[in-house]
């Protein structure tokens, strides 16, 4: 009688070490631990880990995180979007033009801006899948097109490239607080009252907590990370994303709607960029033509640090979120440590190179290449 419980000799056991090495989040986890240890040693006395300091680097990390989620899913699907930074500037300017210059209700302004930007994302994806052109080239073209419109439109209408008054235009609107408000104010007031977080000791805000709530930018970042992770790991569509980036032709032969998947990922990337832009203009109260510069590259770097392969078909939203967290902590940590802020760009280059080398090694482990 054949022992069916016996292990098939054709099945190779994977060692725990190899299982750990092929996890996309490995680099992000290691990098996050290293960065926090580094700044705990050299910047802990500067207030970096006080309530206000934590809020500062959390906000910066959330900015990176929002656009990294979209970039991650798109890269796993095998494509790039270099127009993300210009989309941020364009979306913010549309909010200012519709809401301030034209005087539209802010809720209508926001919804119209999302519709326009997501349509542009769909156009990006449609051109890529219909022409077969590399997404690098198509979105590079839209990088210039969107940046040009972002400068041209306000100059033509207002004779300037910065438009303010967004906060006044959003006053009393029902949709604006979803992007520019805060949550948890009573909780933070209570934490201030019992001494857990610092409070102002004098002035008109005496007794109020230094941090009086969680900004919606952070809420959006957390929500998008959760949504992206569930979509990628718990749904059939997530399997389609991996298949589309891993081997598009094999995926098509298996019935995966590759073109639709890629277009939808371009739309989602545009959605994330518009969320970022809307939160940004609500925070600053103005839109500028120079907003979003280089954000597309920072998003890609965060995704690469998080373990995504540049070739597609492999990656993790949680890893991308950790990459964004590393960015935020380092950018603010250099300031708190008294290091010249321009060295942040040096760090980006170094960590990108290290991440690509690590990812190349991981790909060889996965594929068995030498």
The CATH number of the domain holding residue 148 is: 1.10.3470
Q: What is the pLDDT of residue 14?
A: 55
With contact defined as beta carbons under 8 Å apart, do 105 and 171 qualify?
no
Q: What is the pLDDT of residue 21?
A: 59
End-to-end CA distance of the chain: 42
Does 120 map to a domain? yes
Does 201 map to a domain? no
Does 276 map to a domain? yes
Chain-centre distance for alpha carbon 233:
18
How many residues appear in the chain? 370
Does 35 map to a domain? no
With contact defined as beta carbons under 8 Å apart, do 298 and 64 qualify?
yes
Does 98 map to a domain? yes
Give the count of beta carbons closer than 10 Å to the beta carbon of residue 135: 23
Q: What is the pLDDT of residue 369?
A: 60
- In which residue ranges of the chain is pLDDT below 50? 1-2, 4-5, 8, 10-11
φ, ψ of residue 80 in degrees (nearest 5): -125, 155
With contact defined as beta carbons under 8 Å apart, do 349 and 357 qualify?
no
With contact defined as beta carbons under 8 Å apart, do 301 and 351 qualify?
yes
Does 162 map to a domain? yes
Joined together, the tokens standing for residue 327 give 């960015």
Does 250 map to a domain? yes
DSSP letter, residue 62: H
DSSP letter, residue 8: P
Does 283 map to a domain? yes
Q: How much is the pTM?
A: 0.91
Q: What is the pLDDT of residue 73?
A: 97
- For residue 34, give every residue at least 6 positions away whose Cβ sits within 8 Å of its Cβ, in sequence order, or none: none
Measured CA distances, 359 to 94, 145, 298 (Å): 38, 32, 17
Determine the structural domain holding residue 66 and report its residue range. 48-182+215-367
| Strand, coil or helix: 243 | helix
Joined together, the tokens standing for residue 141 give 């073209």
Q: How many domains does the chain have?
A: 1
Smallest Cα–Cα separation from 182: which of 222, 208, 212?
212
Q: What is the pLDDT of residue 48?
A: 86
């Amino acid at each position: 009688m054949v022992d069916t419980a016996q292990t098939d000799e054709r099945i190779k056991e994977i060692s725990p070490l190899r299982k750990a090495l092929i996890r996309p989040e490995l680099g992000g986890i290691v990098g996050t631990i290293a960065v926090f240890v580094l700044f705990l040693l050299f910047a802990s006395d500067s207030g970096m880990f006080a309530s206000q300091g934590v809020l500062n680097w959390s906000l910066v990390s959330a900015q990176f995180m929002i656009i990294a989620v979209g970039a991650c899913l798109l890269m796993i699907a095998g494509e790039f979007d270099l127009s993300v930074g210009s989309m941020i500037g364009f979306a913010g300017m549309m909010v200012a033009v519709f809401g301030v210059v034209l005087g539209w209700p802010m809720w209508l302004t926001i919804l119209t801006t999302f519709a326009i930007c997501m349509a542009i994302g769909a156009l990006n994806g449609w051109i890529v899948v219909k022409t077969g052109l590399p997404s690098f080239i198509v979105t590079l073209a839209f990088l210039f097109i969107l940046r040009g419109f972002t400068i041209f439109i306000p100059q033509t209408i207002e004779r300037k490239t910065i438009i303010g008054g967004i906060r006044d235009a959003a006053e009393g609107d029902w949709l604006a607080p979803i992007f520019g408000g805060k949550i948890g104010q009573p909780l933070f007031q209570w934490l201030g009252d019992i001494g857990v977080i610092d409070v102002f000791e004098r002035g008109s805000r005496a007794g109020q907590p230094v941090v009086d709530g969680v900004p919606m930018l952070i809420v959006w970042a957390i929500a998008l990370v959760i949504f992206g992770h569930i979509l990628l790991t718990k749904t059939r569509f997530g399997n389609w994303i991996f298949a589309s980036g891993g081997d598009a032709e094999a995926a098509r032969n298996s019935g995966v709607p590759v073109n639709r998947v890629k277009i939808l990922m371009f739309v989602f990337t545009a959605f994330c960029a518009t969320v970022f832009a809307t939160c940004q203009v609500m925070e600053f109260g103005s839109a500028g033509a120079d907003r979003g510069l280089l954000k597309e590259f920072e998003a890609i770097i965060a995704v690469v640090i998080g373990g995504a392969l540049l070739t597609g078909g492999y990656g993790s939203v949680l890893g991308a979120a950790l990459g964004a967290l590393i960015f935020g902590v380092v950018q603010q940590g250099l300031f708190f440590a008294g290091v010249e802020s321009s060295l942040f760009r040096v760090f980006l280059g170094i960590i990108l190179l290290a991440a690509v080398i690590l990812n190349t090694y991981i790909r060889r482990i996965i594929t068995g290449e030498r």
